[in-house]
């Protein structure tokens, strides 16, 4: 009977180990930058998509560098758009090949998904990504080995925009609440593997947030620049 009260605690601990933004249990990762610099990192998952150019234009208008965690399958479908992201000065990360949930998967499956994306993105961009973000932010046994095998650093986030489901006003509020030096925001320029996704709420929220951040003295940096001072 004494073990029964521990079951919820064990479940909570397991959930944190798998998806906690600061968890290092199943794979080493970073989730925020230093607070010593008034800068934030915008990151975008699941792309590229047919709507990515609209986002690139908005970021360029405000002089904002960002980091795009691209799915290998989407990049292979839209290689010119994938390259346009890098040409615009943004950093590229690995977001697996087909965006599967990694939970309950074998180490071999995880390594294959990460490796297929790494090979596809390296061929498209002529340089291997060094950053990785797990689909849904879920780390699992075997991911640490896959990251080592492919030379990847896992990046989580300090604020999730929930832009795949929330209206623009809620996205903007979440961004405002998460704004602080060193923040890493998780947003999306795709919807898993869906062609031509609706990014209108995200774009509307960023049209509000970007000038507000700029007026408050924030810089928009890539994850490597925020964490390590690298372009």
The residue length of the chain stands at 231
Nearest residue to 100 via CA among 129, 70, 134, 141: 134
Rounded to 5°, the CA angle 135-141-147 comes to 65
Listing DSSP states for 55-82 in one string gives HHHHHHHTT--EEEEE-HHHHHHSHHHH
Selected catalytic residue, list 90, 125, 150, 188: 188
Selected catalytic residue, list 45, 46, 163, 189: 45
Active site residue 188: yes
The CA distance from 164 to 190, in Å, is: 9
Place of tokens 């930058």: 33
Active site residue 176: no
Residues classed as catalytic: 45, 188
């Amino acid at each position: 009977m004494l073990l029964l009260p521990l079951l919820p605690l064990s479940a909570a601990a397991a959930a944190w180990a798998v998806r906690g933004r600061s968890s290092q249990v199943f794979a080493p990762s970073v989730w925020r930058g230093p607070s010593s610099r008034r800068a934030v990192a915008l990151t975008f998952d699941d792309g590229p998509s047919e709507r990515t150019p609209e986002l690139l234009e908005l970021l360029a208008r405000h002089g904002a560098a960002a980091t795009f965690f691209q799915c290998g399958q989407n990049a292979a479908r839209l290689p010119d758009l994938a390259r346009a992201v890098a040409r615009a000065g943004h950093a590229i990360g690995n977001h697996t090949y087909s965006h599967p949930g990694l939970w309950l998967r074998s180490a071999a499956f995880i390594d294959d998904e990460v490796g297929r994306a790494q090979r596809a993105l390296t061929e498209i961009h002529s340089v291997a990504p060094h950053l990785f973000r797990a689909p849904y932010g879920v780390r699992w046994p075997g991911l640490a080995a896959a990251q080592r095998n492919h030379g990847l650093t896992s990046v989580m986030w300090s604020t999730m925009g929930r832009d795949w489901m929330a209206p623009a006003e809620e996205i903007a509020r979440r961004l405002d609440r998460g704004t602080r030096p060193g923040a890493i925001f998780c947003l999306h320029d795709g919807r898993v593997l869906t062609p031509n996704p609706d990014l209108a709420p995200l774009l509307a929220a960023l049209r509000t947030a970007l000038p507000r951040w700029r007026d408050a003295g924030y810089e928009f940096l890539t994850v490597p620049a925020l964490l390590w001072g690298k372009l």
